[in-house]
């Protein structure tokens, strides 16, 4: 399956996603520089894309406990 025209082989599964069937987040960069985020267990759902600044703000908020 291809989501947003992005090949399956380019998706990177989060190191926080275990192999125990739990939540599995994966990301990859799009050709226009956005960050695509999807669920590796249910790829038919597609993915959400974010501008790099939006993605970085989210990651920073998670890391510092704001979310």
- pLDDT tens string 18-36: 666 667 889 999 889 999 9
**Considering the domain boundaries, does residue 1 fall inside one?**
no
**Considering the domain boundaries, does residue 36 fall inside one?**
yes
**Considering the domain boundaries, does residue 2 fall inside one?**
no
**Considering the domain boundaries, does residue 40 fall inside one?**
yes
The number of helices, as runs of H, and strands, as runs of E, in the chain is 1, 4
Could you give the number of structural domains in the chain?
1
DSSP 8-class letter at 43: G
Tokens encoding 57: 């703000």
- Tell me the residue range of the domain where 40 lies: 8-63
**Considering the domain boundaries, does residue 50 fall inside one?**
yes
**Tens-place pLDDT, residues 3-14:** 767 887 888 988
**Considering the domain boundaries, does residue 44 fall inside one?**
yes
């Amino acid at each position: 399956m291809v989501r947003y025209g992005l090949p399956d082989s380019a998706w990177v599964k989060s190191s926080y996603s275990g192999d125990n069937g739990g939540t599995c987040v994966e990301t990859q960069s799009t050709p226009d520089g956005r960050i695509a985020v999807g669920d590796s267990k249910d790829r038919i759902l597609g993915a959400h894309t974010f501008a790099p600044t939006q993605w970085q703000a989210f990651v920073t908020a998670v890391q510092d406990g704001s979310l």
